[in-house]
Copies of this chain bind each other. A is one copy, B any other.
Amino acid sequence: MTTYTTNDFSEIVFGRKSVRVYDETHKISHEEMLTMIQEATTAPSSVNMQPWRFVVVESEAGKEKLKPLIRFNTRQNETSSAMLLIFGDLNCHERGEEIYNQAYASGKMPKEVRDQQLAAIIPHYESLSREQMNDIVKIDASLAAMQFMLVARAHGYETNPIGGFEAEKLAETFGLDQERYVPVMILSVGKGMETGYESVRLAPEKITTFE
């Protein structure tokens, strides 16, 4: 784990804003990007199936391919260290055995639990409809996306979550099977060169009831 720019939870979480302009000269090393992804993916997922998949668009050529798909968000694409494309893998259960074997091999799960879990989970996931799997992978990948935004700030970076893009073209443009990988979100990441706008929220009383 890298040394953090800050480890102050309040500052990291409540100081986060969407930043759209970054220091164009700053590159993030693959090592640091993978560290941030590792940290982001400590997020939980349904039956630990970890359906999140990432494409880090950082080269000129990659950003050129992305440009026509991101509508009004060209400044982020032009100035960020990277655009992180987050997909959900609708066939994530194909890695179920690998994940549960890893849990067993590292001593974190007894063999019987591994076997019972796999015997229940894999057929269940195979039985779900495309719509049900879409919901699961979008929820789980969003949990990791939120952690990535926070982890990036601990590393001294800012982000901007982008939902407005040509969703039906994103996977194919980057060589992924679009029947299998559904786009969830794009996050720009880099050294912030603006402070970002302050935003407002509805009061919690307005969106909450007690039962």
Contact = CB atoms under 8 A, between A and B. Distances in A.
A35, A135, A154: most-surrounded residue (chain B CB, <10 A):
A135
A186 to B, nearest CB: 12
A211 B139 contact: no
Contacts of A99: 200, 202
A69 interface: no
A117 B14 CA distance: 24
A42 B202 contact: no
Nearest to A113: B197
Oligomer copy total: 2
A193 interface: no
A208 interface: yes
A210 B56 contact: yes
A95 to B, nearest CB: 7
A12 interface: yes
A47 to B, nearest CB: 8
A178 interface: no
Interface residues of A, number: 81
A7 B4 contact: no
Given A95-B202, A138-B135, A200-B103, A62 B14 contact: no
Interface of A: 1, 4, 6-10, 12-14, 16, 18, 30, 33-35, 37-39, 41-44, 46, 48, 50, 52-59, 61-62, 65, 95, 98-99, 102-103, 106, 108-109, 131, 134-136, 138-140, 142-143, 145-147, 149-151, 154, 161, 163-164, 174, 184-185, 197-205, 207-211
Given A10-B154, A37-B204, A48-B199, 6 more contacts: A7-B8, A7-B10, A16-B42, A44-B149, A61-B211, A142-B142
